Structure 1
Amino acid sequence: MFVSHITSIPGVRLEGTGIVNAMKQSLIGPAQGWDGWSMRLFTLAEGGQTPRHSHPWPHINYIVGGQGTLFLGGQEQPVQTGSIAYIPGGEEHQFRNISGQDFAFICIVPAEADK
C-alpha cells in the first residue's frame, strides 16, 4: 500500500535537446508496489515543451492543469485540463505549453521507460 501527496514527491528538472522548462515527478511505480508500471507527473512552465520524439513503448496521458498542444499523428492538437490521450509505441509526439500558466499532465508508461 502507498499513500502520499504530490508536495511530498521531489521533482527533477529535465534537460536535453528540445526540452524547455520541464519538470518530472515519479509518483507511483515499482518502488511503491506497482510492478511493471510507472505514473509520472510532468509540469511544463510557461514556454515549456518536451522534445519531439518517439520510443517503442506506449503511454497514457491525462491533462491535470493548464492548456497546451500535443503533436501526434503528424498534427498538433489542442489539449487542456481533462483531456486524455493514448500514444502508441513508435509514434512521434511532443507536448507544448501555450499558456501563461503551468501545463501539467500525468503520463503512465511501462516501468522500464521511467529512467
Structure 2
Amino acid sequence: MFVSHVSKIEKIPMNAPGVSGATRQSLIGPAQGWEGWVMRQFSLSSGGHTPRHTHSWPHINYVLSGEGVLFLDGQEHKVAPGSVAYIPGGAEHQFMNKGDQELTFICIVPEEGDK
C-alpha cells in the first residue's frame, strides 16, 4: 500500500536533447508496489516541451492543468485540462506548452518506459 501527495515527490529536471523547461515526477511504480507500470507527472513551463520522439512502448496521458499541443504522428492536437490521449508504441509524439501557465499531465507507461 502507498499513500502520499504529489508535493512530497521529487521533481527531476529533464536534461536531454530536444527538451526545454520540463520536469518529471515518478508518482507510483514498482517501488510503491505497482509492478510492471509507472505513473509519472510531467510539468512544462511556458514555452517548454518534451522531445519529438518515438519508442516501442505505449502510454496514456491525462492533462491536469495548462494549455498546449500534443504532436502525434504528424498532427497537432490542442490539449487542456481533462484532455486524454493514448499514444501507441512507435508513434512519433511531443508535448508543447503553448500557454502562459505550466502545462501538467499524467503519463502512464510500462515499467520499461521509465528507465
Identity across matched positions, percent: 60
Q: Aligned to 1:112, what secondary structure does the other structure show?
A: helix
Q: Runs of 4+ in structure 1 displaced over 3 angstroms?
A: none
Count of residues in Structure 1 that have an aligned counterpart in Structure 2: 115
Which structure 2 residue ranges, 5 or more long, are not aligned? none
In 2: Cα distance, 1:101 partner to 1:12 partner? 19
Output the amino acid matched with 2:60: I
In 1: Cα distance, 2:72 partner to 2:31 partner? 31
In 2: Cα distance, 1:38 partner to 1:109 partner? 6
TM-score (norm 1): 0.99
Q: Does 1:71 align with 2:79?
A: no
1:26 counterpart residue number:
26
Shift of the alpha carbon at 1:73?
2.4
Shift of the alpha carbon at 1:14?
0.2
Q: Deviations over 1:60-87 (max 9, x none)?
A: 0000000000001211110000000000
Which structure 1 residue ranges, 5 or more long, are not aligned? none
Output the amino acid matched with 1:31: A
2:97 counterpart residue number:
97
Q: Deviations over 1:25-82 (max 9, x none)?
A: 0000000000000000000001100000000000000000000000012111100000
Output the amino acid matched with 2:56: P
C-alpha RMSD over aligned residues: 0.5
